[in-house]
Chains A and B, each alone.
Chain A
Amino acid sequence: MASKNLLFTKDHEWVEINGDTATVGITDYAQHSLGEITFVELPAVSKQLNVHDVAAAVESSKAASDIYSPLKGQVSEVNDELSAKPELVNQDCYMAGWIFKLKTGAADTKHLMNASQYEEYLKTI
């Protein structure tokens, strides 16, 4: 299960905030329903993103999904390992399967859910 420190979107992205940097990935629920992920499209480093901008994309044989930025910020790092090993998103979505990092400054996180809120949210969908 996800770390208690993560925040979540209704679109099943997770975000972990450390100082002014936010790490973003997709939740276990999302990777599970996508199936075997065979391709991850990463954002360009230094790209400016607003909340809910399309930041990345993941594709499995039966589905393609856009990944939206949970926060406003500038892409500071991407997980290059996913280019050759997209299956890391399935295998370890909260750790090795992270997708990109954002420089956010003081992030406004009011629109995000905490772990227990996300758990409750999953029960409603």
Chain B
Amino acid sequence: MAKKGGYGIIEYKIGAGLKFLQMADVKKTVLFDRHAALAGKAQLVPFAGWMMPLWYKSISAEHEAVRKTAGLFDCTHMAVLKITGKNAADFLNILTTNDVSRLKPGKAQYSYILNSAGDIIDDCFVYCISDNDFMLVANAANEQKVKDWIGTVRSEHIQCDDSWQVDVADLKDESLPDARVDIALQGHASAQCLKSIFNVEIEGLKFSTFIQGEAEGVNVIIAATGYTGAKVAFELFVHPNRAGQLWDLILEKGKALGIVPCGLGARDSLRIEAGLPLYGHELAGDFNISPFQAGYGWAVKLQKENFTPTPIPTDRTILESPEKDSSAQSSIKSQSKLVCGFIGKKAVAKKAADFDTEVARLKFSGEKGVRPIRQLDGILNTDGRCIGYCLSSAAAGDKQIVLALIKKEYNTAGKIVGVYYLARNAGHIQQGRKERVIIGDLLTADIDGQVVERFEKF
């Protein structure tokens, strides 16, 4: 046998296991030893350059634990950057699409980093620690790209003198005293567990806000954010040297509450079930899906204008596209003109209304013996006409949840849709099954289901 599909955007070979660690570019997270002890060889896979657990016990058991009690996730591979200085907020407002001026210390916001063409470089969360101190959390798979882009923006897009102060640091660097990595604790039992460890009131903590806690000398930012659709959900940002201690503490205190460690498999199935997008699938990717198509137009603040809490230096300006504008740079500079609210704004504004497909959440039977729906399988209307494509799919109980890009007139809860399975092997192709379908093709549905609400909270 030969394994073809893989977890999400990665391919993993059967039995490759720990051998991947011999590859120079696969890194261990600070929790790796715990994963190796908890999971058998086969469940550890390389993901975004990191050796990560795909599951410990089983994807379905871990998925269910988060919905019924709570689950603990190693997210220490994720990019955590520190943006500080008196112009940190200005800088983030130029770099990201959401309105950073609305943030106050203790609040966080979901946002996007776009390139000059308005295409998504990554989606991210921006946490306001204090007026001049922010934390930006981005996808592990995009870490280098985001860092490089920040460098480009600083050197080429923002023309400024020495009075402009922004410092960027990698908070995963354990040599920093205030270093931070991300561990997620998601599900109803999380609050009680954290309360027992940190003795803090967190039940009233609103989504996207955070507090700091301390226990046994471990300082933790406790943020009510997450990626599982759980109503009670936290991300814990802790010094990498203390991450293992926190991980052990949560599992120890959480044992009686039914809290279990969860791998990437459940992380993916939970976010799919909730309708949350993943970069490369429901954002950007093969179809270059915009935030508006994904249902996140609210995080792109086209109207934000007067966001600078500090005066703009007279010789500073922001260039929408430094390559194209290079000849005009000096004149723009002299006018001290703000060319754009954020990078990519002009281009993304055009995408705001101009799209005919959008991300939808679909539900199908997922009982044993039903072939799983896969990425790029065709979505059909009741006439058998292809109206879109599967972007991600997951098992949730006895159902399959699909996030699909479909023609937007079909994106209404209750609409009946079908799926056409693409050929998975040579035998299927011989039987006449297509390897690729496009919108408009006339096909026969292999399985019927329906459109459900775009998002679901649990």
Contacts and interface: CB of A to CB of B under 8 A. Distances in A.
B100 interface: no
21 contacts: A12-B1, A33-B3, A33-B15, A33-B42, A35-B43, A38-B369, A38-B395, A41-B371, A59-B5, A61-B269, A61-B394, A62-B6, A62-B265, A63-B4, A63-B12, A66-B424, A68-B2, A85-B368, A86-B368, A125-B16, A125-B19
B402 interface: no
Most buried by A among B3, B40, B426: B3
Most buried by B among A59, A85, A87: A59
Nearest to A124: B19
A89 B346 CA distance: 54
Nearest to B4: A64
Interface stretch (B53-61, B135-143, B280-288, B435-443): B53-61
Nearest to A11: B1
Interface in A101-118: none
Interface string B334-373: 0000000000000000000000000000000010111110
Interface in B15-35: 15-17, 19
A64 B424 contact: yes
Contact of A61 (B3, B4, B19, B395): B395
Interface string A21-59: 000001001101111101101000000000000100111
Given A35-B59, A36-B58, A65 B3 contact: yes
Most buried by A among B14, B40, B55, B395: B14
A2 B427 CA distance: 29
B327 interface: no
Interface of A: 11-13, 26, 29-30, 32-36, 38-39, 41, 54, 57-68, 83-87, 122, 125
A35 B425 CA distance: 20
A10 to B, nearest CB: 10
B385 interface: no
B455 interface: no
Contact of B5 (A11, A41, A63, A125): A63
Give the size category of B's interface with A.
Answer: 35 or more
A86 B369 contact: yes
Contacts of A13: 1
A39 B4 contact: no
Where chain A touches its partner, the secondary structure class is: mixed
Given A39-B368, A54-B427, 13 more contacts: A35-B54, A54-B425, A54-B426, A57-B424, A57-B425, A59-B5, A61-B59, A61-B395, A63-B14, A65-B1, A83-B369, A85-B369, A125-B16
Q: Nearest 3 A-B pairs (CB), nearest first?
A: A33-B42, A64-B5, A65-B1
A36 B59 contact: yes
Contacts of B372: 38-39, 59-61, 64
Nearest to A67: B1
Contact of A87 (B2, B3, B366, B368): B368
B371 A35 contact: no
A35 B6 CA distance: 12
Nearest to B265: A62
A11 B2 contact: yes
Contacts of B58: 35-36
B269 A63 contact: no
Contacts of B43: 33, 35
A63 B59 contact: no
B370 A38 contact: yes
A34 B14 contact: yes
Contacts of A65: 1-4, 14
